[in-house]
Chains A and B, each alone.
Chain A
Amino acid sequence: MKKIKDERLILKNLQNVRTAYIIQTIGILGILGYDLFTKGMEGMRQNPLWIVFMITTIVSVYLSMNISVDHESSEKSPKKGTVLSLLILTAISVIIGIAVNFTNGFGILDGLIMGGIIFVCGLIPILYIRYLRIKRQEENLDE
């Protein structure tokens, strides 16, 4: 098989992949929805398709950050945005940590772990957005 060099066909191929992806996602959602009805939330999570679905969603969210950074109309300062996001994230992590700490059956350690996990999970996208904004600013400086 020859490699396709025609740009129109490459584009068409991408559009076909998109259609297939949509159908696949509908299928996965259908199977997971069926599991949710018949086996409940826990039963649905035991299905490996759940992990596939979550990973695809996360990847797609990260990829769409690339687009949203370019889409921002005003030139946001990466530093200001990062500091603000970090403050909010810290507040949320601390509140959840404290809430877990005072829940029956959980101790200080659980609160720390829970807050820490949420902090780390939130930190990664914030740093990624910061990296994208800095990169875009550098690109704009070249003009």
Chain B
Amino acid sequence: MENNVKIARIQANLTQQQLAEKIGVTRQTISLIEKGKYNPTLKLCLDICYAVHKTLDEIFWVEKESGMK
């Protein structure tokens, strides 16, 4: 799944490691989410949103046609 985690993370001035520590996951998980290779649970999505001060919509919303790879 495509998402805007990477953009939001850079805007919040965080590295993958810092974001990972903030949420309590490993850096690899953040990396996989950014690449769209891991489908996070809603709870983790929310944690990411809180950490970068964005809404779910801004980070994870994708239009129906382009979203499904």
Contacts and interface: CB of A to CB of B under 8 A. Distances in A.
A5 B24 contact: yes
Contacts, number: 21
B26 A7 contact: no
A7 B44 CA distance: 8
Contacts of B25: 5-8
Interface string B25-45: 110110010000010110110
B29 A9 contact: yes
Interface in A1-47: 5-9
Interface residues of B, number: 11
B24 A8 contact: no
A8 B40 CA distance: 8
B41 A9 contact: no
A9 B28 CA distance: 10
A7 B38 CA distance: 11
Q: Which 4 A-B pairs have the closest CB atoms?
A: A6-B25, A8-B29, A6-B26, A5-B24
Given A6-B24, A7-B29, 4 more contacts: A6-B26, A7-B25, A7-B41, A7-B43
